[in-house]
Amino acid sequence: MMNDRFMFLGNFICLSKFEKPYFDKFGRPLMKNIFLLLSFLFCVTNTSVFSQPTSAAANPEIFINVSVMDARGRAVTGLDKTAFTVNEDKETAEISSFISDEPAEVLFLFDKSKRMSDLYRKADPGKQSLVYHFLSRFMQSGHPANSYSLFAFRKTQEQILATTGNQNNVLAALDALDALKMEGSTSYLDACYFGIEKLRQSTGKKRALILFTQGGSEQSAYTFKQVNALLQENNILLYVIAVFEPTSLAESGFGGPANMSENYKNQVTKQDEFNKLVTVTGGRVFFPMSASEMAEIFSRLGSELQNQYTIGIKLANTSGAGKSRRIKIKIKPPAGTSNLKIRYREEFVID
């Protein structure tokens, strides 16, 4: 049909060559209108030349990192996707992908305020700092394909190591971290906001921000509400290791619990905002009482990230950009197990 239309126009033009006065008066305006008409008809009958929304755009995929633990807090491994049921806003969601060994992109934020100095100090020449031991334990128990970046925060944030998968480079970079001058107060809220902004630039399925801090939030540029909102908008796991009395903890070495003051106990009870922040993401908060416990925490975190299940689902409810989606996951315990506990991000905000 389209070829017939162009043939008609061609015949008209050829005929008009022999009737120039008639063509100048009537043909040119008519030809212009015919061209406009044919352009419209071409667009209508060939809509495939324009890009169409794909099913992926209409039904975005989200990735949920799920920690499964037994009654003793140990990771439960070896499960397949048939063990999981996922609901989105109370409707059953189809599992579109399932990964049991997804590596993580890990960003460490180390507090370098003066109160934390004992944890970075090397006790004797040739020996490593406590932080060196903690990070070593994390990488030993973590996924071998993890990538790491290190930042220190004082009044501002400073990059110590750009993203790398080389564990030797990570440990070598700790010399620069140890050597960085300790400064007075700091703000974990500003550091946390900074870390989220860094990680959100990544497209990885598993992104983790680990905040190592004494918990100060003096002179923050960002509020708790702003940090919490940014966490809600980005699929990033947040883990907080809060050391309220770093000197006492450092003095405990790898022996028994540190001799913490009553003030420490009061601080722990008041720091519910840490719990609120990590709960949004499916992460955890720790309040170690000794260097030994701290080392165990770092080891446990590395193992937890490695053993998480990464479940992808295509969202069925795509109405209302910017609105949250409630996720509920149920697990069918394998034979011989019971009282399994699961932890994951329960709410997603979709653009």
Dump pLDDT digits (tens) for 17-74: 445 554 455 555 555 565 555 555 444 344 333 233 333 446 778 999 999 998 888 8
Is the separation of the CB atoms in 205 and 63 below 8 Å? yes
**Do 136 and 240 touch, CB atoms closer than 8 A?**
no
Torsion of CA 312, 238, 191, 321, to 10 degrees: 40
CB of 99 within 8 A of CB of 310? yes
Q: What is the pLDDT of residues 146-199, one digit of tens each?
A: 999 999 998 889 999 999 999 999 999 988 888 888 877 778 999 999 999 999
At residue 61, the pLDDT reads 87
The CA angle 93-338-80, to the nearest 5 degrees, is 40
pLDDT recorded at residue 124: 55
- At 343, the pLDDT band (50, 70, 90 cuts) reads very high
8 Å CB contact between 349 and 322? yes
pLDDT of res. 253: 55
- 93: three-class secondary structure by DSSP: strand
pLDDT at 161: 94
What integer pLDDT is reported at residue 106 of this predicted model? Answer: 98
pTM over 0.85: no
Tens of pLDDT, residue by residue over 193-221, are 999 999 999 989 999 999 998 877 777 89
Query: Which tens digits make up the pLDDT trace of 120-143?
Result: 776 555 678 888 889 999 999 999
Average pLDDT over residues 263-284: 77
The answer to whether 175 and 128 have CB atoms below 8 angstroms apart is no
What pLDDT does residue 43 have? 45
Q: Which residue has the higher pLDDT, 51 or 77?
A: 77
Contact 211, 186 (CB under 8 A): no
Extract long-range pairs of 197-204: CB within 8 Å, 24+ residues apart.
197/230, 198/107, 198/149, 198/151, 199/105, 199/107, 199/234, 199/236, 200/234, 200/236, 202/105, 204/104, 204/105
pLDDT at 271 over 80: no
Tell me the pLDDT of the chain averaged across its residues.
Answer: 79
pLDDT at site 48: 33
- What pLDDT score does 32 carry? 57
